[in-house]
A and B are shown apart, each in its own frame.
Chain A
């Protein structure tokens, strides 16, 4: 079985204390102080693909549209057990979902595949669109927010997540595209040594022209106009002081409000 997994790199903004700032273009944030990482959802997708390869044989190919710094996540994918990695050398951060979807569709349609996996959404922009778009462009069935799957003869059974924790079950004919939700597995630990070793595996870099795509064919349909920092801390009354002091004050507040 041949599985293609689409992955992306994101700046880690969840742990970033006080360092999210808008850059001079007004259309992006300053990334220098932020640690790059693989998109959470994509790590689960890679793990799932590698586990099914171990059961059924075949190949796993990791693909990304991104600049050369994103080779890091491709090496990580190779270290996790992917056989090949392909990067299309473009700055995806400046593109809309439609454009990235068109590029990935052009690439994936040239690869052998039975199953395609995407992350359910990206941590940075959180659109949750790409997988479902690419499936429609390729003309294959899809299921989003998949929390478990079983590959059978010519088909894949999946459960997808609904609100409130209930699940919806579907059987999809292969080839199919799934977007993977967190918690579907426990992604393996990747050591520095294994990433280094993965340098032996093939990491291919390709371009839009090699895929037969022109820049004109990729005019954006959705345009980012401007960014603004979200005003926060407005509502909460902040309890100041050392850990000792603030904990003591909070305990008193809880007592006064009748919780204790």
Chain B
């Protein structure tokens, strides 16, 4: 029977959300084409994850490796490659996370399989697999097919596939890690936790978020005035931190903070998924952007298509008027 294989990622005693998303998608696809869903997890305490993965998987391969605390690309690649070569799963699903980005391309070359990364949809039609990817700043959707191959590797965009609790209760097979490789060419040395910042944007009820569209450090002041009129806190997209316009504690998104304010007012932010995953919990999203085709308008409740440098000062004034 054909197989679909999901690579499970874990760090600090918990499974990555994106792995559960891949398991959910994998379950749907496996049911659709009557394939078996296999989940592979590697690490020191794999038994901890087995039952959870078995909720979706027909079978969990729990590879016990006392050297490996959390998911890392090299041990995963060296373990997965022989499994893939032997079992020839039709499809391998991996989350497009930091770990997935470090693993999937090398694994694909290693096993000689076609690879599509950061996919927003995966479909099987008459046995043929196609994927959708969002390209050109999210303005275009691209549909891809693959050259004939026994196995395809696909990484899925985090937050794109909703998790549905699985009811499968598959079997768990624990296997000993058989590689004697030490990976001395790439030694793991530890973690650095994110810096604790003065402002805690995760607790703010009103966030005024600026993006690259603010154009200049000097213009941040405009947003600050608006924030103080609204009793809110400044947040930002990544480029604003990269350019040194605001400290990293203000960054919302995949590599920043996850926020859930009552109001998220996005000024000159395009709406890249790495930003949007950080604000899904917002009550109301308002976007001001001069480009009507900016993807952020697809997620916002209200939008103004205009120049933020023009709108912000007027808005600040109107709000101050309304308050007095």
Interface residues of A (CB under 8 A from B): 11, 13-18, 20, 22, 29, 97-98, 101, 120, 123-133, 135-137, 141-145, 157, 159-173, 182-183, 186, 219-239, 243-244, 246-248, 250-255, 257, 259-260
Among listed B30-38, B50-58, B96-104, interface-contacting one: B96-104
Among listed B39-47, B108-116, B162-170, interface-contacting one: B108-116
Q: Are B106 and A243 in contact (CB under 8 A)?
A: no
Q: How far in angstroms is the closest Cβ of chain B from A42? A: 14
Give per-residue flags for B134-164: 1 if the beta carbon is below 8 A from chain A beta carbons, else 0: 1111111111111101000000001000000
Q: With A233-B297, A238-B304, A251-B322 as given contacts, are A124 and B136 in contact (CB-CB < 8 Å)?
A: yes
Q: With A18-B291, A133-B109, A144-B101 as given contacts, are A128 and B117 in contact (CB-CB < 8 Å)?
A: yes
Give per-residue flags for B262-287: 1 if the beta carbon is below 8 A from chain A beta carbons, else 0: 11000000100000000000001011
Q: Are A162 and B322 in contact (CB under 8 A)?
A: no
Q: Are B141 and A228 in contact (CB under 8 A)?
A: yes
Q: Is B292 among interface residues, defined by CB-CB distance under 8 A?
A: yes
In the bound complex, residues from chain B placing their C-beta under 8 Å from that of A135 are 106
User: Can you show 27 pairs from A to B with CB atoms below 8 A apart?
Assistant: A97-B115, A120-B101, A124-B136, A131-B105, A132-B101, A142-B186, A163-B97, A163-B98, A164-B194, A165-B257, A166-B192, A172-B185, A173-B184, A183-B238, A219-B147, A221-B114, A223-B146, A225-B130, A225-B145, A227-B143, A229-B140, A230-B138, A232-B139, A233-B293, A243-B310, A246-B306, A247-B314
Q: Are B238 and A251 in contact (CB under 8 A)?
A: no
Give A20's nearest chain B residue, CB to CB. Answer: B139
Q: How far is the CA of A167 from the CA of B191 in the complex (A)?
A: 6
Q: How far is the CA of A238 from the CA of B136 in the complex (A)?
A: 23
Q: How far is the CA of A222 from the CA of B147 in the complex (A)?
A: 6
Give B146's nearest chain A residue, CB to CB. Answer: A222
Q: Are B315 and A247 in contact (CB under 8 A)?
A: yes
Question: For chain B, what secondary structure do more than half of its interface residues adopt (helix, strand, loop), or is it mixed?
Answer: mixed
Give A147's nearest chain B residue, CB to CB. Answer: B255
Q: Are B238 and A243 in contact (CB under 8 A)?
A: no
In the bound complex, residues from chain A placing their C-beta under 8 Å from that of B96 are 128
Give A133's nearest chain B residue, CB to CB. Answer: B105
Q: How far in angstroms is the closest Cβ of chain B from A35? A: 13
Q: Is B251 among interface residues, defined by CB-CB distance under 8 A?
A: yes
Q: How far is the CA of A120 from the CA of B242 in the complex (A)?
A: 15
Q: Are B298 and A233 in contact (CB under 8 A)?
A: yes
Interface residues of B (CB under 8 A from A): 11, 16, 74, 96-99, 101-102, 104-106, 108-110, 114-118, 130, 133-147, 149, 158, 184-195, 206, 212, 230, 238-239, 241-244, 248, 251, 254-258, 262-263, 270, 284, 286-287, 290-295, 297-307, 310-311, 314-315, 318-319, 321-323
Q: How far is the CA of A15 from the CA of B212 in the complex (A)?
A: 10
Q: Are A169 and B190 in contact (CB under 8 A)?
A: yes
In the bound complex, residues from chain B placing their C-beta under 8 Å from that of A144 are 98, 101-102
Q: Are A243 and B311 in contact (CB under 8 A)?
A: yes
Question: For chain A, what secondary structure do more than half of its interface residues adopt (helix, strand, loop), or is it mixed?
Answer: mixed
In the bound complex, residues from chain A placing their C-beta under 8 Å from that of B140 are 20, 22, 29, 227-230
Q: Are A250 and B302 in contact (CB under 8 A)?
A: yes
In the bound complex, residues from chain A placing their C-beta under 8 Å from that of B144 are 222-225
Q: How far is the CA of A153 from the CA of B139 in the complex (A)?
A: 45
Q: Are A168 and B114 in contact (CB under 8 A)?
A: no
Q: How far is the CA of A45 from the CA of B248 in the complex (A)?
A: 20
Q: Are B270 and A14 in contact (CB under 8 A)?
A: yes
Q: How far is the CA of A142 from the CA of B183 in the complex (A)?
A: 12
Q: Are B191 and A168 in contact (CB under 8 A)?
A: yes
Q: Which of A11, A13, A227 has the largest number of chain B CB atoms within 10 A?
A: A13
In the bound complex, residues from chain B placing their C-beta under 8 Å from that of A130 are 105
Q: How far in angstroms is the closest Cβ of chain B from A140? A: 8
Q: Are B306 and A235 in contact (CB under 8 A)?
A: no
Q: Are A221 and B147 in contact (CB under 8 A)?
A: yes
Q: Which of B16, B116, B256, B304 has the largest number of chain A CB atoms within 10 A?
A: B304
In the bound complex, residues from chain B placing their C-beta under 8 Å from that of A137 are 109
Q: Are A166 and B139 in contact (CB under 8 A)?
A: no
Interface residue from A17, A120, A141, A246 paired with B186 (Cβ < 8 Å): A141
Give B149's nearest chain A residue, CB to CB. Answer: A221
Q: Are B244 and A186 in contact (CB under 8 A)?
A: yes
Give B148's nearest chain A residue, CB to CB. Answer: A221
Give B114's nearest chain A residue, CB to CB. Answer: A221
Q: Are B293 and A127 in contact (CB under 8 A)?
A: no
Give A248's nearest chain B residue, CB to CB. Answer: B318
Q: How far is the CA of A22 from the CA of B99 in the complex (A)?
A: 33
Q: How far in angstroms is the closest Cβ of chain A from B108? A: 7
Q: Are B306 and A243 in contact (CB under 8 A)?
A: yes
Q: Are A145 and B98 in contact (CB under 8 A)?
A: yes
Q: How far is the CA of A161 from the CA of B194 in the complex (A)?
A: 10
Q: How far is the CA of A248 from the CA of B317 in the complex (A)?
A: 9
Q: Are A18 and B299 in contact (CB under 8 A)?
A: no
Q: With A165-B255, A170-B188, A219-B147 as given contacts, are A251 and B315 in contact (CB-CB < 8 Å)?
A: yes
Q: Are A236 and B189 in contact (CB under 8 A)?
A: no
Interface residue from B109, B255, B263, B295 paired with A254 (Cβ < 8 Å): B263
Q: How far in angstroms is the closest Cβ of chain B from A189? A: 13
Q: With A133-B105, A137-B109, A232-B295 as given contacts, are A14 and B212 in contact (CB-CB < 8 Å)?
A: yes
Q: How far is the CA of A132 from the CA of B73 in the complex (A)?
A: 11
In the bound complex, residues from chain B placing their C-beta under 8 Å from that of A169 are 188-192
